[in-house]
């Protein structure tokens, strides 16, 4: 990503790292059910400018927060600054990457880094994953790690799971690391196989931030994971070969759904049918069928609202408004739900009018303001020389 304002963040920086956020186009809540997901990296990024240090100190300048923190690379398990204070939450992500790298025996050196982001925090676009992947790519470049981008994503996930303490799947870090310009990424969360699928020509991604920060997330997310696990345990009595809901066909589920408690059946039905929708999307994207793909997006939103019950009125309003607009192929909530954003697939030549109408009608309907972003599917993390 060319930028004429080199060293705007940190004087005498020698490396610049660009790590994108991500949006999930289809396949919501199936990553922890071993299913296929379809995220895309987007051209909203975390930007790091860095220079190596000769000592074991990491100096972080979080420009958006106007905060600076220093910590030692030795003793990271204490989660403390070099002055003995607890690390602020935002600093746990880069510290976690350094910790995970050292757990794997990878060399990590002292650095000074200034960074900024235009990925909205808490909106479901994976700002934290972009930070992790950005720092992992930075230390990989400095340390000569023999890791490909999938391995880099796994290291970043380890940092979030085991150091930050968030039990996320791999999708967010995967998409930030492996994005392909103009493409979604079909990612098999069981085998870790992936391939890019072209997004329909003449379309853009529009992301609408409801302004409602996710109110989940812990207990409701855990309840839904538990329901999926309960469904597998009960369905195994009739389908002994299954390991996850990914292994249950729609026909088998329809035949056996009455064996499940009502809430468990609703949660599991979303997963089984959502995995089917991702399968259907493969052919549609391969053929450039924007209308067909858009219908899948709308069906996913209905399922997330009615079966998985992770939507909120503000997200429903954004989808309903979007679906009425000329040039909108599809819309749905994206991310875990309970707040955050919707994602819309829109004809490029109608995008500006769509964005204006979406913002105006959302305010009329809800009294709230939505931030609306025009995005393209972008390349994954990359390192550039500064200067």
Q: What pLDDT, in 10s, does the model give residues 22-41?
A: 999 999 999 999 999 999 99
Angle, in degrees to the nearest 10, between helices 127-143 and 149-158: 120
Q: Across residues 151-169, what is the average pLDDT? A: 92
Banded model confidence at residue 187, pLDDT cuts 50, 70, 90 = very high
The pLDDT score that the predictor gives to residue 387 is 63
Q: What is the mean pLDDT of residues 294-305?
A: 98
Q: What is the mean pLDDT of residues 267-288?
A: 97
- Asked if residue 9 has pLDDT above 70, the reply is yes
15-26+35-183+379-385 to CATH, choices 1.10.3720.10, 3.40.50.300, 2.60.40.1930, 3.30.230.10: 3.30.230.10
Residue 237, sorted as left (phi over 0), alpha (psi -120 to 50) or beta, turns out to be alpha
Q: 149 vs 15, 188, 216, 387, CA distance in Å?
A: 18, 15, 30, 25
**How many other CB atoms sit within 10 Å of the CB of residue 336?**
20
Cα separation, 87 vs 228, whole angstroms: 35
Backbone dihedral angles phi then psi of residue 63, each to the nearest 5 degrees = -65, -40
4 — pLDDT class (breaks 50, 70, 90): very low
Within 10 Å of residue 309's Cβ, how many Cβ atoms? 17
Relative orientation angle of helices 217-235 and 262-286, to the nearest 10 degrees: 90
- Least-confidence region, from 154-168, 172-186, 236-250: 154-168
The yes-or-no verdict on residue 182 having pLDDT over 50 is yes
Report yes or no: 151 and 157 within 8 Å, Cβ to Cβ: no
Average pLDDT of the chain to the nearest whole number: 93
Q: What confidence tier does 127 reach under pLDDT thresholds 50, 70, 90?
A: confident
**In this predicted structure, what is the pLDDT of residue 196?**
98
Query: What DSSP line would sit under 77-88, residue for residue?
Result: GG-B-TTSPBPP
Residue with tokens 């920060």: 213
Identified catalytic residue from 31, 34, 64, 172: 172
Q: What is the pLDDT of residues 65-92, one digit of tens each?
A: 999 999 999 999 999 999 999 999 999 9
With pLDDT > 70 as the criterion, what percentage of the chain qualifies?
95
Compute the distance between CA of residue 260 and CA of residue 254 in angstroms, rounded to an integer.
11
24 contact partners, CB below 8 Å, separation of at least 6: 37, 38, 39, 171, 175, 334, 335, 343
State yes or no: is 252 an active-site residue: no
pLDDT of residue 386: 75
Q: Return all residues near 146 (Cβ < 8 A) that are at least 6 apart.
A: none
Residue 314's closest CA among 242, 209, 220? 209
Mean pLDDT over 245-268 rounds to: 98
Higher-confidence position of 201 and 220: 201
Q: Give 212's DSSP letter.
A: P
- The whole-angstrom separation of Cα 225 and Cα 203 is 34
pLDDT band at 122 (very low <50, low <70, confident <90, very high): low
pLDDT beyond 60 at 5: no
Amino acid 124: pLDDT: 64
**What global pTM score does this model have?**
0.92
């Amino acid at each position: 990503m060319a930028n004429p304002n080199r060293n705007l963040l940190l004087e005498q920086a020698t490396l610049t790292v660009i790590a994108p956020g991500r949006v999930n186009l289809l396949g919501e809540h199936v990553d922890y059910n071993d299913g296929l997901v379809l995220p895309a990296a987007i051209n909203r990024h975390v930007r790091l400018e860095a220079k190596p240090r000769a000592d074991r100190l990491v100096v972080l300048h979080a420009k958006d927060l106007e905060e600076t923190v220093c910590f030692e690379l030795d003793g990271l398990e204490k989660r403390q600054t070099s002055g003995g204070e607890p690390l602020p939450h935002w600093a746990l992500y880069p510290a976690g990457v350094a910790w995970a790298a050292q757990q794997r025996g990878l060399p990590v050196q002292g650095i000074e880094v200034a960074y900024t982001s235009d990925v909205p925090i808490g909106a479901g676009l994976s700002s934290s994953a972009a930070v992790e992947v950005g720092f992992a790519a930075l230390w990989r470049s400095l340390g000569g790690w023999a890791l490909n981008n999938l391995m880099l994503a796994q290291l970043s996930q380890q940092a979030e799971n085991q150091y930050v303490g968030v039990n996320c799947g791999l999708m967010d870090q995967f998409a930030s690391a492996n994005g392909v310009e103009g493409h979604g990424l079909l990612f098999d969360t069981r085998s870790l196989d992936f391939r890019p699928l072209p997004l329909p020509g003449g379309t853009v991604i529009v992301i609408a931030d409801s302004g409602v920060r996710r109110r989940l997330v812990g207990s409701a997310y855990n309840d839904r994971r538990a329901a999926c696990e309960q469904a597998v345990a009960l369905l195994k009595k009739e389908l002994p070969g299954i390991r996850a809901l990914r292994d249950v066909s729609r026909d088998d589920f329809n035949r056996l759904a009455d064996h499940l408690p009502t809430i468990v059946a609703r949660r599991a039905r979303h997963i089984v049918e959502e995995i089917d929708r991702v399968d259907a999307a493969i052919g549609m994207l391969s053929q450039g069928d924007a209308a067909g793909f858009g219908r899948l997006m709308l069906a996913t939103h209905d399922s997330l609202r009615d079966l998985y019950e992770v939507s909120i009125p503000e997200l429903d309003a954004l989808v309903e408004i979007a679906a009425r607009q000329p040039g909108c192929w599809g819309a749905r909530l994206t991310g875990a739900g309970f707040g955050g954003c919707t994602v819309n697939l829109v004809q490029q030549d109608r995008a500006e009018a769509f964005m204006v109408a979406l913002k105006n009608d959302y305010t009329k309907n809800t009294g709230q303001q939505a931030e609306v972003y025009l995005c393209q599917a972008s390349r994954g993390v990359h390192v550039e020389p500064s200067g």
